[in-house]
């Protein structure tokens, strides 16, 4: 079905409850949670939780979670096995019948984590430079 993830939208926080809006990176934000399908079309967006909220809490407070029973119940047969379609999220999300997540200490997770750290440090032009082997 698709992918789910969150990002932080910078804000000027209210003076009352300021700390609730400070995210793990140290600046005030709202958490934007989005779901995209296999065609990269957005079909669910939620942006109402303060920056300090954990991804699992953002999900549990979203309309997506409250209406999960309305998600399409498609099944695709792959190599003779009926596989229900589901969302894929990172390890911060809960494991649900309609939401799969990665293992936090898996090699792929650590590799992706390293890549995201690398891309946040390197200038964009270095990431586009072809490498020869």
The pairing of strands 2-10 and 87-89 is parallel
What is the Cα–Cα distance from 72 to 99, expressed in whole angstroms? 13
Instruction: Give this prediction's pTM.
Output: 0.72
Domain residues of the chain, as ranges? 2-104
Q: Which tens digit of pLDDT belongs to each residue from 48-79?
A: 999 999 999 999 999 999 998 888 788 888 88
Q: What is the DSSP letter of 22?
A: B
More confident residue, 85 or 3: 3
**Alpha-carbon torsion (48, 7, 2, 97), positive or negative:** negative
Q: What's residue 108's pLDDT?
A: 59
């Amino acid at each position: 079905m698709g992918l789910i993830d969150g990002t932080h939208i910078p804000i000027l926080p209210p003076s009352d409850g300021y700390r609730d809006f400070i995210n793990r990176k140290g600046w005030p934000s709202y958490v934007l949670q989005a779901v995209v399908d296999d065609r990269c079309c957005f079909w669910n967006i939620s942006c109402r939780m303060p920056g300090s909220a954990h991804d699992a809490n953002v999900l549990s407070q979203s309309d997506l979670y409250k209406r999960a029973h309305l998600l399409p119940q498609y099944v695709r047969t792959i190599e003779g096995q009926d596989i229900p379609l589901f969302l894929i999220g990172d390890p911060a999300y809960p494991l649900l019948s309609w939401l799969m997540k990665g293992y936090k200490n898996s090699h792929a997770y650590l590799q992706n984590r390293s890549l995201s750290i690398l891309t946040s440090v390197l200038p964009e032009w270095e990431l586009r430079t072809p490498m020869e082997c």
